[in-house]
Every structure is written in C-alpha cells, then in structure tokens.
Amino acid sequence: MDEFEGELSEAMTLRPAPPSLKNKIMQRRWRERAERQRRRVAWWRRIAAAIVLAGAVGGGFAWRYRQQQRKGEEARQQVLTALRITNHALNVMNAQLQQNNQQEQ
C-alpha cells in the first residue's frame, strides 16, 4: 500500500450514522411486525371462514343427497306396495275366474 492508498484508507473511515437512525429502524421494525401479525391473523381468519364455508356447503350437499336417497327409497317402497296390492287383486280375480269356470263346467 503506497502513500496515496494510505490517504485513501484514511479518508474512508466510517461515517457516524445519524443519531435517529436506530430509532427509526426500531420503529419501522415494530410497525412491520405488527403489520405481519395482523396479516397472519387475517389469513387464519380467512382460512377458518373457508373451512366453515366448505363444511356448510359440503354438509348441504350431503343432506340433499340423503334427502334424495330417502325420497327414492320411499318411492320404491310405494311402487312395491302398489305392485303387491295389484298382485293380490289379480290373484283374487284369478281365483274368482277359476271358480266361475268350474261352476260353468
């Protein structure tokens, strides 16, 4: 290192930071942290709301599906009952017809 470089090194000593710099950094840090915390809470709220909403929608669909299944089952039972009644009526008619035929013979 020659004389010129020595003078350059001497000229390049650290400059003192403004006295308010640390305070400003700490204040901005506090604000940023508070903002991050606020955003985190908002995100969790959104996630919770989304879960509740998804649960409600899913529950609604499940309920509707069950209702439809129940109605379908009821309709099936009604058709079966109607078929049983019809079958019974036809059996009675058939028996009567057979009885009539025998009497005529």
Partner 1 sequence: MAVPWKPDFEQLVDEHQAMVFSLALRMTGDRGLAEEIAQDVFLELDRNLRKIESEQHAVNWLRRVAMSRSADALRRRRVQGVHLWVELDEGAGARSEKSGSPLGARLERLLATLPEAQRAALVLRYQEELTPEEIAETLNAPLATVKSHLQRGLKLLRAKAESLREFVRGD
Where along the sequence are the contacts to partner 1 (CB under 8 A)? Answer: 4-5, 7-18, 21-22, 24-26, 28-29, 32
User: How far, in Å, CA of 77 to CA of 82, rounded?
Assistant: 9
Q: How far is the CB of 5 from partner 1 (least distance, A)?
A: 7
| Cβ atoms of 15 and 7 closer than 8 Å | no
Question: Minimum distance between the CB of residue 57 and partner 1, rounded to whole angstroms?
Answer: 37
Least gap, CB of 46 to partner 1 (angstroms): 22
CA 6 remoteness from chain centre: 69
Largest CA distance in the chain: 147
Q: Distance between CA atoms of 72 and 79, rounded to whole angstroms?
A: 11
Closest to partner 1 by CB, 23 or 86:
23
Q: Give 4 or 101: the residue with its C-beta nearer to partner 1.
A: 4
